[in-house]
Chain A
């Protein structure tokens, strides 16, 4: 069973979001990292760029799979996790401990799930 953490918001595209005031921190969930396998590359967004919720913002690659990250919230990218450039496997090691990007001035859509809602959603997947 994939790990889900209380207090975070989740998207059906398997990203987690930590919202603090007008900023948000985003990463991928345990379910997502497990499905990808050993991660070999993360393409990070450009700091300063604006995105709307639902935009493709980053790419994650393993040897046999590639997955795009659909940003669950809109906003302006304020920081990216540079450590992932050299050590993308950090996401496999601890996906909730290693964020991918942070945003300011975030717009949070209504349809994000809480931990319980995401767990229920996962159980509907095969």
Chain B
């Protein structure tokens, strides 16, 4: 090989690096290589240091059931080791799977157009804000509801940081958005109002009249929703939203210490050419067969460069495949059942806690599968959590863990999925009684 190139040694390939004075003249301070067995040992040890428990943790990551077929199908080598489907002739499988995913997202949200995924639900909020600013001339402000997931608010604030864009927070009242303030906050420079339901506490938001108010101001209305909740609660389209966002982790993706997940975004038809990220479209090949191809690429960074609304190229394709397989197995009936079971079990637990005198879901709004429990003191909460932990139960997420705000230190978010059994719920209640 060296002869073919016309050089005498491998080092000569790096002459330019050496001449530039950039050659590293010492070995890296990184361990020597290991055999596969040794590597597996290290990783098994690390995995073993993590503790698993019966999870009542939620706040953006949920322990739902995952059919075995999901993991098996999503690990087929041609799905796993393909790049972005730039060459449609040898990528029909990936393209069609994404087309089916986009269709599923449109069906769940009621929207017209879905992209082929974003990174996750929180970063999707920032992408929605960017879309809105690009869509509305001379706008530089977005309004977020205070009840959005704290990390989603963080992502939007980061997006605005140092750019002159403004993020304004619509206050909350009794655990839901206080829409009485919205009219005053919407102004000429407002590109969008973004809210979430179920919100950060698990409460469902009542968006009656909100779309009209936002649209009168020529702003976009964005709703973030857990896609499994959409099997029961109104879809974003039913509320009159222009942009639907969220995360499909609840559709077959393991908790995986927070990622990879899969952000979804779907929009109404007028926004089709503004949506960020890849989109698969249907067309025909030279033989007139129905085929799929990446389309509307003129929106994207590789063509529009600095004029593109977003820079996204790699997305979460394999995770969107997982979610479409999961949803295919469950079907609408299965989604409704998973959603309803989560709902019923969460309410069973909430009712039980209330009977024990806990301040569970104290707001007026309904909740779906997650609710807040308010404690009187830090000591009470600590006792509750550690008693549960001693029994292998992760009892909930402290809201202050997300907001880093002392005012939320006494709020525990408790999530219940269809995976939790009656026995586990009753055990939770027993320990709650003891902790009282």
Contact = CB atoms under 8 A, between A and B. Distances in A.
Of A43, A63, A68, most buried by chain B (CB within 10 Å of CB) is A63
A64 B307 contact: no
B273 A64 contact: no
B273 A65 contact: no
Interface residues of B, number: 8
A66 B298 CA distance: 5
Given A40-B298, A65-B303, 12 more contacts: A41-B273, A41-B298, A49-B137, A61-B273, A61-B298, A62-B298, A63-B297, A64-B303, A65-B298, A66-B298, A66-B303, A66-B304
B326 interface: no
Interface of A: 40-41, 43, 49, 61-66, 68
B400 to A, nearest CB: 45
A65 B297 CA distance: 8
Interface of B: 137, 273, 297-299, 303-304, 307
B211 to A, nearest CB: 21
A66 B308 CA distance: 10
Closest 4 CB pairs of A and B: A61-B298, A66-B298, A66-B304, A66-B303
Contacts of A61: 273, 298
B307 A68 contact: yes
B58 to A, nearest CB: 41
A61 B298 CA distance: 6
Nearest to B137: A49
A66 B301 CA distance: 11
B153 to A, nearest CB: 31
Nearest to B274: A43
A114 B304 CA distance: 30
21 contacts: A40-B298, A41-B273, A41-B298, A43-B273, A49-B137, A61-B273, A61-B298, A62-B298, A63-B297, A63-B298, A64-B297, A64-B298, A64-B303, A65-B298, A65-B303, A66-B298, A66-B299, A66-B303, A66-B304, A66-B307, A68-B307
